[in-house]
Structure 1
Amino acid sequence: MSSRKRARLNVSIPELTFLTNDNILRVSSVSADGRRTNERHIPFKPIPPSPTKTSTKAQVENFAGLQECSITNGDFTMADDDEYLENGRRRWEAADNPLDDFKPRAFEYLEELLCVEGRGGVDTLCLCGSRDGVAYRCQDCSEARMSCKTCVLGQHGCRLFHFIEKWNGSFFKRTTLKSLGLKLQLGHPNGHICVMPRQARSGFVVVDIDSLQEVDVYFCMCQPQEVVGDHWQQLMRYELFPATSTQPHTAFTFRLLRFFHTLTLQGKINIYDYYILIENRMDGAKIAPQKDRYEAFRRVVREWRYLKMLKRGGAGIKFHSLVDIQRGELAPRCPACPIPGVNLPDDWQLAPASKSFIYRKFISVDVCFRLKRRKISSEQSDPGLATGLAYFVPQDQYQPFQKAVGDQKETDRCTGGRLAAIEQANVKFNKGYATTGVVLCLCARHEVVEPNGAVDLDKGEKYALTDYAISASQSLSDKSLFRVLSYNIACQYRKNFFNRLPNLPEAIRIDTDKKLWTFAVPKLHIRGHGLDCQQNFSLHLLRGVGQSDGEGSERHWGNEGPIATSTQEMGPGHRRDTIDDHFLSWTHRKRVGLGHFLLIRRKAAVKQERIHAQEFLKLSKSQAPSVEEWTKMVDNWENGVSEENPYILPDIGSTKEEVRLRFAEEEAEQAHLGVLALHEVSPSAFMQLGLELEEAQRVLALDVASENWNTAKQKTELITRRAQIQRSIGRLRTLQHIYTPLALSSATSTHETTDVVKSESIPLMLPSSLDPKVLSQPEMTSWVDMELQFRRGQMRSSIHEVHVCLSIRSRLHRKHAFDTCGQKESKKAREKMAKNDGLLEEAALKFRAAWSATKVLLGGREDLVGYPYLKDSDIRMIEEPDMTTTGNKRRVKGSQFREYETALLVEGESRKTTSWLWNLFDSSEDSKAIQEATRVEWMKARARDLRWKEELELINEEMRRTLLTLEYEAQEWVSWVAKENDSRPEGEGVTAYALRQAAIRRGLARKFQVLWNEDRDSGDLLDGPCQTSFSDDKSDDEE
C-alpha cells in the first residue's frame, strides 16, 4: 500500500445565486505536518448554474485572486485567462484527456483493487457489537462490510440471491445463504411462519441476473389451494418463473428475464452467450461442478417472450382466452398511417383529388436472405407459440400454399439489365437450409412492421410468396385505402399482380381495385434499373408520394440482421417466435420515436419546400410562354389521360449505326440509278474503315500503357496486334489514293513512317486531322460532311456506352458491398469491376476523340459541337456526386462502399445536381432539341417542388393522425376494464396494467404535441395537430 500522506482540502463555496453583492470563497487546508490550518478569503462573482451556461470571460476574470493561491500539498489549480475563448468557454487542451490523469495513478488504483481482496484493515467488529464469527461479507450489497452470520442472515431475508463470501483465515471464499441456513418460505409475507411448509425438491436452483445458486425453498400448505395456488403459482407470485409447472426444481427471477429480454432486443445477444456469462461469473476457473440449466433457461426465455407479447396485446384484458385472438392482433399498428374509423375523418373518401394523397397507405416490401434456418427440428415438434398472432402468417394455410407453388414462369424484362431477384426465384442457393429468407411488408414512411406481413421462403424470391405476404397484411386493413407499393422489382412484379391474387387462399385474399394501387421502385434501388424504369416508377416523379424513399425495409433489415446467427440454428417455431419478438421491439421503438422522427422531417420539409418553390418559380418565369402547355402535358400523364411520359427526352440525333445505315441506303439508291462507283469499297465503308482503325489504335495504346509486356508470349501478342493494324493502314492508304488524294499529298514524310512497332501512333489522315486550308478545298466538302455525321453518331453511341457502364458499375458496387464475402468472391468482384472500368474508359476516350474531331470539322466552333466536353467529373450516375473532388475521393478510398452509398444519399433527386450526360440534347440538329431538354428540366423542377409541398402536407397529417390514434388506443385500454367489475384475484393487476397502458399512450401524445407545437416557428404549418386537445384533467381522471 502507498504510504504517501495527503493533506485534506476543504473548499467551502456558498450557494450560487444571482446577487448584486460579491460572494466570498473560503479556501482552507491543513499543513504538511498536520499542526496548522491555512485559510484564505477571496471575493468573486458566481457563475450562473447550468443549463443557463452564461459564463463569460469577464466573470472568469473575477477569479484572478485564486491564481495567487498556494495551497500546500493540494492539487488545486486555476486556468489562466488566456485559456478561455471569447465566449467564455475554456479551450480544449491535450492535457484535458482524462486518461492522462489516470495513467500516472494507475498503480494506486491497482493497490485499491488489491485492498478489496482482503479485509481492508478494518476493525472486525460487527454492527451488532459482536467480535465472534465476523467473517462474512456480501459482494452485492452497497456496503461490503464484515458481518457475523446472524447479521448476514438478517440482512438478506429479502435478498436471497446475493453473493456471500467467507474469510477462511487466508482469503475470501464464496459460500451461499442456503449453507448459512436461510430459507425461502412462499405463500406468506417475509418473516411470517407457515405452520404447514413443504420443502421443494433437493437442490432447487434459482438463476438470477448474474448468479446461479441453490436455494432452500418451502411451499405453503396451510392455506387452501385456490387461495395460495399451486407450487408454480407460488413461485410466480414471488417473481420466480418456474422451469416446469409440475414439481419445479428450477426457477428464474423476473429480474433476470426482464433484463435479458431488454438486452437481447437492443444488443442482439443470444441466450447461450448470456448463460455462459452467468457461469463465468459464478466460477471463472471452472473448478467446482456447476448445475446445467441452459436448456431450461432457453425454454423459459421463449415462454417469457410469448407471455409479454400476449400481455402487451391485451390478452387477459381484451381477450379472455387464447382462442379469441385472431391473426395479427398482437402486432400494434402504426399510429401515423391512415386507419378508417380511428384517425381519419368520416368523409375522407370525399376528399378532392388534390388532397386525397394524404390518405394513402405506403407499403414497402423486401426480402432478407440473412434470416435463414437450417434443417433443424420440424413443424410437428416445434410449431411455435405465437405464429400467426403477430407478424408471421399462420402456417396452417401458408405451408400447403408454399408447397403447391411451382417454379416462377415470369421472366426478367427490365430495360436496365438483369434483376437477380427474378432470375434466382427458382434457385435454392443455400444447401442444408429449410428456410432461405423472409419476405416482409412494413409501413414505408414510418418503418413499422405490418401485422401478418412476414412469410418464409424455401428458395428464391418468388412472386407468389410475396403476393401472400402483401395480401395477408393488407387484408387486415381497410380495402378502400389508396396504396403505394414500393418494391425493388416493382417494374416487373406489378404486371400480373392482380391476376395472381385469385390464386391465394380465401382467408387472406385481398379484394381490391387496380385503381387503388400505385407501384414504385425505391429511390436507391432504381439506380440499377433502366431509363424507362427511372422515368415511370421513380418516387421522385410520382404524384402524391412526398419525399417517401421506399427504403425503410433496408433500414429495418440492418437492425435485424445480427440475430441471424442465432435464429438459423433454431427450430421453425422458436425462430418465428424470436423474430416476431424482435419485430415487436422494432415497432415499439418506431412508435415512441415518432415525435422526433416527424419533427426532423417537418423541419427539412419546411426548408426544402421554400428553396425549391423559389427555384421553380424562377425557372417558370424564364419559360413563361411554354409553361401552360407543359403543365397540361404533365397533368394529362399523371391523371392517366395520356400514356406518353413527358419526362422522357425525345430521341433527337442519330447513332453511329444509324448514320452508317443511312449512307448505305443512299449508296444503294445511287447504284440502282446506274451511278458508277470508284471502287468496290463504298465511300461510307471507306470512312467507316478509318474510324474503326482509329479505335483499334486507341485500344492498343491503352493496353500498352496499362500492361507489362515482358514475357515472350506477351511480346508476340503485341507484335501481332501492331502488324494487323499496319496491314489495315495499308488498305486504308490504297483507298485514300482513290477517294482523298489531297489528304495524302498534304502529309509530311514523318507521317508516312512504316515502323511496325509504333503502328498505334501512325496518323490515319482522316479529314478531321488535316489542316483547315486543306479542308476548305471543294473536293473535301463531301468528306467533311460525311465524317461530321459519323462523328456525331460516334458521340451518341459513346454516350450510350458510358450510360451502360455506369449502370453496371452501380450494380457491381452494390453487389460487392452487400453480397460478397471471402477472398475468392472479392477477387472475382474486383476483376469484374476492373473490366467494366476499362470499357468505361474506352467509351470516354472515344467520345473525346469524336468531340475533338467534330470541333475541327466545324472550324473550331465549340458551341456547334452539340455536347459539352466530357470531363472526368461528368462521368457519374444521375444522382451520383462528383467523385473527382477530394472529399468524395476520400469517401470511396479503399472501396468503402457504405460511405460511398452515404455520399450518394446526400445528394438525391430532391437536392441533386445532374451530370449533363443524363440531360442530352444536340443543338446542331435544331432548336427543338434544346427546347425539349429545357421542358424536361422544368418538369423535374416542378416535380421536386411538388414533392416537398406534398411532404409537408403528409407530415402534418401524420402528426394529426398520431395524436388521434394514441388517444383512441388509450380509450380502448380503459374501456376493456370498465365494462365489468373484475372480481378475479388478478383483477386489480389487470385494471392497473390497462390504466398504465392508457397513461403511457396519453403521455406520448402530450409529449409529441408539446414537441411539435414548440416548433411552429420553423415554418408555415397546417393547424391539424395543434388543434387536437388532450385535457390533463381528463387524462389524470382516467389514468
Structure 2
Amino acid sequence: MNAWLPLADHYLRETVRNEGRGSHTYQQCIGCSEAGVITVPGDPRIRCKDCSPRLYCHACTVKKHAECPFHRVMRWTGRSFEAVSLAELGLTIQLGHADLSPCSNPQPARTDFCVIDINGQHRVRLNFCSCDKAGEAGGPAEQLHRRELYPATDSEPNTAFTYRLLEHYHVQSVQGKVSMFDYYQSLQRLTDNTGTRKLQDRYKTFMRIVAQWRFLKRLKRAGRCHHPSGAAGTANGELAVACPACPRPEVNLPPNWDTVSDELKFLYALTVAIDACFRLKRRAVSSEDKDPILGSGWGCFVEDTGFREILAQYGDQQEMNTCTGLSAVDHANTKFSRGYAATGVCACVCARHEFMLPNGVGDTQKGEKYINSDYVFASAMCHHRRVRKNVSYDIVCQWCKHLQERLAKFPSHLRIEIPKGSLKYVIPKLHYHSHKQLNHSKFSMNYVPGIARTDGEGIERRWWWIQPIASSTKVMGPGQRQGVLEDQWAYANWRKFVNMAWTLRDRLRNARAEHAEHMELFVTLTASLKRSNIKAWTAQILAWEQDHDLDDPYVLVADGASDADVRRVMAEEEQAASARPGYIVKHDVSMLGFITMGLDIEDQQVRLQEDAKSAPVSKLPVLLERRTALRRRIQKLRELQAIYMPSALPLLAQIPETQTDVEYIEGVRLGLPSDISPAHRTHACGEHLMMMEKRLRIAQCRDSLQDVRNKLHTLDHLYKYKKANVRHQAPNTRAIEGLGQQWARCNRAVARYRRARRSRLALDGPGGWESEFRVLHDEDVRGIADDEPDSVLKGKRKSAATGPGEGRKKMSWIWNASDRAGKDAHVESLRIEWLKARARAFRWGEELKLLPEEMRRVLASLKHEEQSWQRLASDRREDVDSALQEGLTAYGLEQASIRLAMRNVFRGVCITEALAATGKLGEEWNLDGQDTSISQEDADTNECGPYEEVQHPVDEGDLQVL
C-alpha cells in the first residue's frame, strides 16, 4: 500500500479519463466497418457498460445486443454520457422463436414491461409469438421461461426476473445472508443512484418470485421433475439433504449391520441432538391464507397442519423441570410469547455431522415444552426407525422420563417403538456441568460407551450460523419464513456434504494421535496400581456400563462430615460428658460454644472488612453500628477466654494485634488456639480445646470447598444464560451485577477455606489430611468446564481462548478431591482418576474405529445417489415432449457425474488416513475402474469456510478391558 500511494494521482486520472470517450474518439462506427457495410458508417455514440468501452452507432448496438438485451448502455451527447435504454434505441425482444426468425404475428407486451437482471432494472420492448409457431412456443409465461425469464404472474405478465438474477440472489442469501430488501435496493441503486428517475416498484413481486424459485430449486434437486407424480408426489422430508455419513439401511450399511456383536453395535447407531433456538421467532403477522407454506413437511420442518392439530390438544405444560433450571424452563409459559406466532424453533440434528434432519424442525410456542420436543423427535425418527439411537438433549435427564408413554399418544404414523437398550440418552458436554453430578454419569458423553468423541454441541453451532437472518425472518409471514429457513438449512447441509472429506480426514488424523497418547497414559497408570484394585474397579465399571441403575462410579458420595454435622456431633459428645459424675459447669456458654463463637466472629470480621472497603459515606453510620456490635462480641469472647484459656491472656496482652481498644475492630486477632504459637499452645489452651478447633477447622475446609464448587457451578450457568438470553443494556447491567455478586461470594468462600486450612496447619502441622485439602491457588479456582489454569482470569469464567475438553483436560484439584475423607480417600481418588483415564482412552478408541466406518458410509451414499440419478436419467417418460426429456436426461447425468466426482475427491482425500487406521479397505473405496488420482495439493486443501469447520472432538473405542 505504501508503494501504491505515490501512484494515487495517476490512478485517479485514469478513472476520470474513462468518464469521457477515452481513446475511443473515432468518428466512424467500427462495427459498421467490421461488418463490411457499403453505405456510410454510422455515428459512434453508444457505449455498453457491460460489454466494452468501445463506441458504436445505434444500429450496430441494437444488432450486437439482440441476444443480450439486458445490458446497460450510455449515449454520448457531445460533452458527456447519458443513460439510455436499448428499447429507446429500437431493440425489440421477440419471444417464441429460438432461431431468431421474425414472427409473422407478434403480440406486443405492455409498454412498461419490466425485466430485472443482476445489473439493475430494465424497461424493454417485448413481443410474444402469436403466429403459427405459437402452439410450439407455448403461452406468454412459457415463452418467457424459455428465454430464461421468470414471469411475475402466469396471466398477462408485465414483470420478469432473469434466471441468473434469481440464481445470483439465491447464492448471496444462503452464503452471505443478504436480505431480500437490501439486495433489491442495490438493484435499484444500480439502475439509478441519483433519485432523478422514477423506477417501477417490484419489491413485493421479487419476494414472491424468490420464494417460488427457492421451492422449485429444492424440487429440482430432489429429482421430483423426473417422477410422473411431480411435486404432488413428494414424500415427507424428501426435499431435505440427508447426511451421507449417518447410518441408513439399504443405502450405506453392510448386509450384516444388525447382527454384529454388542461391542460393534455403536458403529451403526445414529447420534442425534435436540435443542431449541429462541432467536428464530416469528411475530404474529400475516396468515397462511395470504402467505401459504410451500411443500409443508417436505423438508426439514414438520408438516404444519398435523403439528398444530396435536398442539391444540395440549395447554401450558408445567412438568418441564430440570435439575438445574435451564433457560428452557425460564422461557416456558412466560410473557415472552406475547405477540409472537412462534417463540423459536425446536430442532433435531445429526449430532456428529451437524445435518438438519428431515422433518426435524418445529416451531415452539411459550418455550421449550415437551410436546414440541416429542413431536419433532418422533417426526425425525420416523425416517430412522430401524437403527439404534443416541439422543443428546440439554434436559434429557428429565425429558426421557415417560417418553414412550407420551409418544404412544401420537397418531399411528408418528408412533416409534423404543425397544429396551436401543436408545441411549446423553447430555451435551458443555451443558453437562450445569446439572447435578450425582447419578448423572449415565448421561455423560465422556463416560457412556459407544458415544465416541461426540460432544453434542453441534446444534448450538447451527444456531450460531443461522442467527444472522433471525431479525429478517422474525417479521415474515409463515410461508416466507419457513421457505427461507428451509433454503438456508438445505444449503448448510449441502456445504457440510461437500466438505465431508476434509472434516472426517482431519478428525481421523487427530483421533489417531489422541488415542495413542491417552492409551499410553492409561496403560502407564494401570501398571502403577495394584492388580487387585484394577480387577475390582474393572468389574465395577463393566457392571455399571451394563446397568446404569447401579451406584455411579464416577462420583464420590460425600462421606466427610459438614460443619453442621461436626458441631452436632461435638455437642452430643459434650452433652454426654456433662452427665458424668464430677463434671463442673464453668460458664453458661460451653467450651464448644466458645470455639464456635470465635469462628463465627472471624467470618463476621471478614465480611465487615469487605463492606468497609467499598462503603459510601452514607453507609458510615451503619458500619459504626456493626463495629459496635462486633466489639461487644469480641469482648464477650475475651471473657470466655479467661475461663477456658486463662494461661493465654498474658500472651495475648503482649501482642498488639489482639488488643480491642482500636478503632477498626474487624482487624483484631481473636486469639483462638490456632493463633497461639506452638511453643505456648499446649500450656495455654489444653489438648481438648485444640482438638475441638481441629475438627471444626477441617469441617470448615470441607464446607468452604463445597461452597466454592457450588458457586462455580452457578457462575457457569449464569454466564451461559446471559450469553444465550440476555439482550439490551438494562438486562445486561443487571446480569453483570448478579455475576459480580456471585464472584464475591465465591471469593469469600475461597478466603474462608484458606483461613481454615492455615489454622488446621498451625494446629496439626503437615499430614495426610493435606491430600484432600491442598493449598488453594487462584488458578485452582475454576469451573469443572474450564480447562487450563492459564485460561482463567480473575473475575472471568475463562479467556477467549477455549481450552481442551474432558478428553484432553487437566481439571483443578478441587474437583478431583470433592466430597471425600478418611484413610481410604487416596485410594478412592485413584479409582476415580483411573476410571476417567480409561473412559478417555476408550472414547478415543471408539472414535478411531467409527470414523473409517463413516468414511465408508459416505462413499456408499455417494454411489447410491449416483446410481439413483443414472436410473432417473435413463428412464423415458411418455407424458413429456422430447425437449423436456432431453433436459431430464441431461440433468440426471449431470447430477450422477457430480456424485462420481465427489467420490473421486473423497477417496483421494481420505484413503491414506483410512488405510493407516484400519489396515484394509472395503469395496466402497473402489471406483469401478475410474481414475481416482487427485493432486496432493487438492487433498490437503480444506475447502471448509469459517462456519463449516467442525471444532468438536469425537469419541470411539474398541479397547480390551485390562
What is the TM-score with the length of structure 2 in the denominator? 0.92
Question: 2:12 matched to 1:110?
Answer: yes
* 1:385 corresponds to 2:291: no
Aligned match of 1:685: 593
2:540 aligns with: 633
- Aligned with residue 973 of structure 1, among 853, 864, 869: 869
What is the CA distance between 1:239 and its match in structure 2? 0.4
Counterparts of 1:742-821 in structure 2, within 5 Å, are 742-749=647-654, 750-751=656-657, 753-777=659-683, 780-821=686-727
Asked whether 1:874 is paired with 2:780, we answer yes
Does structure 1 conserve the Cα–Cα contact (< 8 Å) formed by 2:438 and 2:552? Answer: no
Query: What residue identity is the alignment partner of 1:1002?
Result: L
Question: Which of residues 273, 276, 279 is equivalent to 1:364?
Answer: 273
CA contact (8 A) 1:851 1:865 kept: no
CA contact (8 A) 1:373 1:569 kept: yes
- Aligned residue number for residue 29 of structure 2: 126
Contact 2:439 2:551 in 1 (8 A): no
Q: Deviations over 1:854-910 (max 9, x none)?
A: 111113558757411000010001231345x4x765xx99x7x8xx47533x31101
Query: What's the counterpart of residue 341 of structure 1?
Result: 250
Alpha carbons of structure 1 residues 864 and 993: separation in structure 2 relative to 1, 3 Å? closer
Query: Is the alpha carbon distance of 1:901 and 1:745 closer, same or farther for their aligned partners in structure 2, counting shifts above 3 Å?
Result: closer
Could you tell me which residue of structure 1 aligns to residue 881 of structure 2? 984
Alignment partner of 2:160 out of 251, 256, 272: 251
Task: Judge which range, 378-387 or 714-723, deviates more.
Answer: 378-387
- Mapped pair 1:1001 → 2:893: no
Partner of residue 564 from structure 1, selected from 467, 470, 475: 470
The 2-side partners of 1:756 and 1:910 are apart by 55
> Do the aligned residues in 2 keep the contact of 1:204 with 1:215 (CA within 8 Å)?
yes
Residue 21 (structure 1) aligns with? none
Q: Is the 8 A contact 2:109 2:127 kept in 1?
A: yes
Does the aligned pair in 1 maintain the 2:559–2:821 contact within 8 Å?
Answer: no
* Residue from 843, 847, 850 that aligns with 1:954: 850
Structure 2 residue aligned with 1:734: 639
Change (3 A) 1:751 1:549: closer
1:941 maps to amino acid: A
Tell me how far apart the structure 2 counterparts of residues 665 and 770 of structure 1 sit (CA, whole Å). 27
Q: Where does 1:466-615 land on structure 2 (aligned, <5 Å)? A: 466-477=373-384, 479-532=385-438, 535-615=441-521
Distance 1:708 1:741, change over 3 A: same
Please name the residue that 1:447 is paired with.
Answer: 354
2:47 and 2:666 mapped to 1: Cα distance? 90
**Structure 1 residues 408 and 533, CA, compared in 2 at 3 Å: closer, same or farther?**
farther
Check if 1:323 corresponds to 2:227.
no
Partners in 1 of 2:680 and 2:426 — Cα distance?
A: 57
Say whether the 8 Å CA contact 1:848–1:870 is kept in structure 2: yes
| Gap change, CA 1:837 and 1:847, over 3 Å in 2 | same
CA distance in 1, matches of 2:548, 2:744: 45
Deviation of residue 296 (structure 1)?
1.0
Q: CA deviation at 1:647?
A: 0.7
Contact 1:428-1:458 within 8 A present in 2 as well:
no
Matched with 2:917 is 1020
- Cα distance in 2 for residues equivalent to 1:488 and 1:322: 37
Deviation per CA, 1:233-252, whole angstroms, max 9, x where unpaired? 01101100000001111110
Task: For residue 968 of structure 1, give the secondary structure of its aligned residue in structure 2.
Answer: helix
Aligned 8 A contact 1:526 1:533 in 2: no
What is the deviation of 1:514?
A: 4.1
Which of 889, 914, 921 matches 2:811?
Answer: 914
Structure 2 distance, partners of 1:828, 1:438, is 27
Change (3 A) 1:989 1:742: same
How many residues are treated as equivalent by the alignment? 920
Q: Cα 1:132–1:219, aligned 2, differ >3 Å: closer, same or farther?
A: closer
Partners of 1:677 and 1:922 lie apart in 2 by 37
The more displaced of 488-497 and 675-684 is 675-684
Give the partner amino acid of 1:260.
Y
TM-superposed deviation, 1:431 = 3.1
The structure-2 alpha-carbon separation of the partners of 1:225 and 1:512, relative to structure 1 and needing over 3 Å to count, comes to: farther
Q: Secondary structure at the match of 2:128?
A: strand
Offset of 1:613 from its aligned partner?
A: 0.6
Q: 1:479-537 deviations in whole A, cap 9, x for unaligned?
A: 23211111111122112222211222333222222421111111112232222365332
1:437 aligns with 2:344: yes
Corresponding position of 2:612: 704
Partner Cα distance (1:776, 1:978) in 2: 100
Q: Tell me how far apart the structure 2 counterparts of residues 1010 and 349 of structure 1 sit (CA, whole Å).
A: 30
Q: Give CA deviations for 1:557-595 in whole Å, capped at 9, x if unaligned.
A: 111111111111111111111111111111111111110
2:320–2:370 CA contact under 8 A, matched in 1: no
- 1:827-838 paired onto structure 2 within 5 Å: 827-838=733-744
Q: Distance in 2 between matches of 1:903 and 1:921?
A: 27
Deviation at 1:191, TM superposition (A): 3.4
Contact 1:362 1:484 in 2 (8 A): yes
Please give the per-residue CA displacement for 1:775-802, whole angstroms capped at 9, x wherever unaligned: 2339611111111110000000001110
Deviates more, 1:216-225 or 1:859-868: 859-868
Give me the identity figure in percent. 34
Q: CA deviation at 1:229?
A: 1.0
Counterpart selection for 2:46 from 109, 113, 136: 136
Give the number of the structure with larger relative contact order, counting CA–CA contacts within 8 Å between residues 6 or more apart.
2
* Residue equivalent to 1:239: 148
Find 1:401's aligned residue among 310, 316, 335: 310
Residue 623 of structure 2 corresponds to which residue in structure 1?
Answer: 718
Please tell me whether the aligned partners of residues 858 and 865 of structure 1 are also in contact (alpha carbons under 8 angstroms): no
What displacement does 1:772 show?
1.0
- Aligned CA distance change for structure 1 residues 570 and 1025 (closer, same or farther; 3 Å): farther
Do the aligned residues in 2 keep the contact of 1:546 with 1:949 (CA within 8 Å)? yes
In 1, are the aligned partners of 2:331 and 2:368 still within 8 Å (CA)? Answer: yes
Equivalent residue for 2:838? Answer: 942
1:829 maps to a residue whose letter is: A
SS of residue paired to 2:86: coil
CA distance in 2, matches of 1:925, 1:204: 89
**Contact (CA 8 Å) 2:430, 2:785: kept in 1 or not?**
no
SS in 2 for 1:741: coil
1:19: which partner in 2? Answer: none
Of 193, 205, 211, the residue aligned with 1:296 is: 205
Q: Distance in 2 between matches of 1:981 and 1:352?
A: 46
For the aligned residue pairs, the C-alpha RMSD in angstroms reads 2.2
Shift of 1:671: 4.5
Partners of 2:395 and 2:427 within 8 A in 1: yes
1:647 alignment partner, one of 534, 549, 554: 554
Q: Distance in 2 between matches of 1:860 and 1:600?
A: 49
Report the 3-state secondary structure (helix = DSSP H, G, I; strand = E; otherwise coil) of the residue aligned with 2:122: strand
1:1031 aligns with 928
TM-score, normalising length from structure 1?
Answer: 0.86
Conserved in 2, the CA contact under 8 Å of 1:360 and 1:483?
yes
Q: Unpaired segments of 5 or more residues in structure 2?
A: 34-39, 934-962
Q: Which residue of 2 aligns with 1:30?
A: none
Partners of 2:594 and 2:431 lie apart in 1 by 45
Alpha-carbon spacing, 1:575–1:528, altered in 2? closer, same or farther (3 Å): same
Distance, in Å, in 1 between the alignment partners of 2:69 and 2:516 is: 64
- Name the CA distance, whole Å, in 1 between partners of 2:298 and 2:428: 29
Letter in 1 for 2:754: R
What secondary structure, in the 3-state scheme, does the structure 1 residue paired with 2:619 have?
helix
- Over residues 183-223 of structure 1, what are the superposed CA-to-partner deviations in whole Å (9 max), with x where a residue is unaligned? 11111135311122211122111110122111111112223
